[in-house]
Amino acid sequence: MVISGFRLPMAAALLIWMVIWEIAGHTDAGFILPPLSRIVWRVIEIVPTPSFLDALLITGRSFLLGNVIAIGVGVPLGMVMGRSIIADRLLLPWVNLFLSAPLSALVPVIMVLFGLGETTIVLTVVLFSVWIIVLNTRAGVRGISLSLVEMARSFGASRWQAFSRIYLWAALPEILAGIRLGMIRAVKGVVIGQLLVSVVGFGTLFEIYQSHFLMEHFWALLLVLFAFAFTLNEGLARLERSVGYYAASR
């Protein structure tokens, strides 16, 4: 954007909103929305505390494990659905249903089945992220040009070779996009899971901050999570762009 000859950097918009937040924090709204500067200080204060680090460790562990499971299940499942009409007919309605369903409502069911522990959180992460990975992988595999598949067959590729050297690579741009979207959903999953279980990780902290009305702490925690999700998204988008050169020429 250029205003009267000055080129404003993209971050300028962010700065403006930060200023507005700061000002709003000094008005009466301050009791629910404290000024940004104080929240930033609070972040610096609470991040090194053992309770925060503990929560971070537990959250990170559930998040990673959940994503590994979601990718491990989602990519092969999407591939099968992309290649087999029968599997596709059987599973697609469910995948679409779960993709659009209000999954938070299902977390209590998992809680009943798996208790108030990390297992429930991990499963919530999987539940949030796996469906979009399945759908994207399926779309990627269905988009593979027939002649690439025929090429592999004509040179004697076995099923496994075709899968690992053609399908996986040809569908990689879509798969990576699916994983990125899945991870963003997984951030929601891990937080919602912990909030509902409320005795694990950040869930405990949120519970304490809210019940004691520690708004600065509450926002500090949110800020950390937002920053995490944003960084994750940017990092994965960069990875996606590195295979983008061939996405258009398959």
Partner 1 sequence: MSLSPATAAPLRAIEPAPGATRPIVEVRSVSKTYPGGVEALSGISLDFPEGKLTTLLGPSGCGKTTLLKIIAGLIPHSGGQVLVDGREVTGPGPERAFVFQDFALMPWASVMRNVAFGLELRGVARSQREAVAERHIARVGLKGFEQKFPHELSGGMRQRVGLARALAVDAKVVLMDEPFSAVDEQTRRKFQEELLELVANEGKSFIFVTHSIEEAVYVSDRIALLSRRPSRVSAIIEPKIVRGGDPEKIRRDSAYLDVVEDIWQQLKHYLD
Q: How many residues bind partner 1 (CB under 8 A)?
A: 23
Tokens 């399945």, residue located: 134
172 in contact with partner 1 (CB under 8 A): yes
Q: Helical H runs in 84-171?
A: 85-100, 107-114, 118-142, 146-154, 159-162, 168-170
Minimum CB distance to partner 1, residue 154 (Å): 4
Minimum CB distance to partner 1, residue 119 (Å): 38
**Residue with Cβ nearer partner 1 (91 or 243):** 243
Please identify, among the stretches 34-42, 122-130, 132-140, 163-171, the one whose residues bind partner 1 according to the rule CB under 8 A: 163-171
- Taking the CA atoms of residue 186, residue 192, residue 196 and residue 197 in that order, the dihedral angle to the nearest 10 degrees is 40
**Residue with Cβ nearer partner 1 (110 or 170):** 170
Answer for which of 38, 61, 142, 153 binds partner 1 (CB under 8 A) is 153
163 in contact with partner 1 (CB under 8 A): no
Q: How far apart are CA 9 and CA 203, in angstroms?
A: 37
Answer for which of 44, 100, 102, 147 binds partner 1 (CB under 8 A) is 147
Minimum CB distance to partner 1, residue 137 (Å): 16
139 in contact with partner 1 (CB under 8 A): no
145 in contact with partner 1 (CB under 8 A): yes
Give the 3-state secondary structure of 213-234.
Answer: CCHHHHHHHHHHHHHHHHHHHH
- Helices vs strands, H then E, count in the chain: 12, 2
Answer for which of 3, 6, 9, 154 binds partner 1 (CB under 8 A) is 154
242 in contact with partner 1 (CB under 8 A): no
Q: How far apart are CA 62 and CA 114, in angstroms?
A: 14
Residue 133 neighbours by CB distance under 10 Å: 30
Q: How far apart are CA 81 and CA 234, in angstroms?
A: 29
CB of 110 within 8 A of CB of 123?
yes
Minimum CB distance to partner 1, residue 221 (Å): 41
Residues that bind partner 1 (CB under 8 A): 145, 147-148, 150-158, 161, 165-166, 169-170, 172, 243, 245-246, 249-250
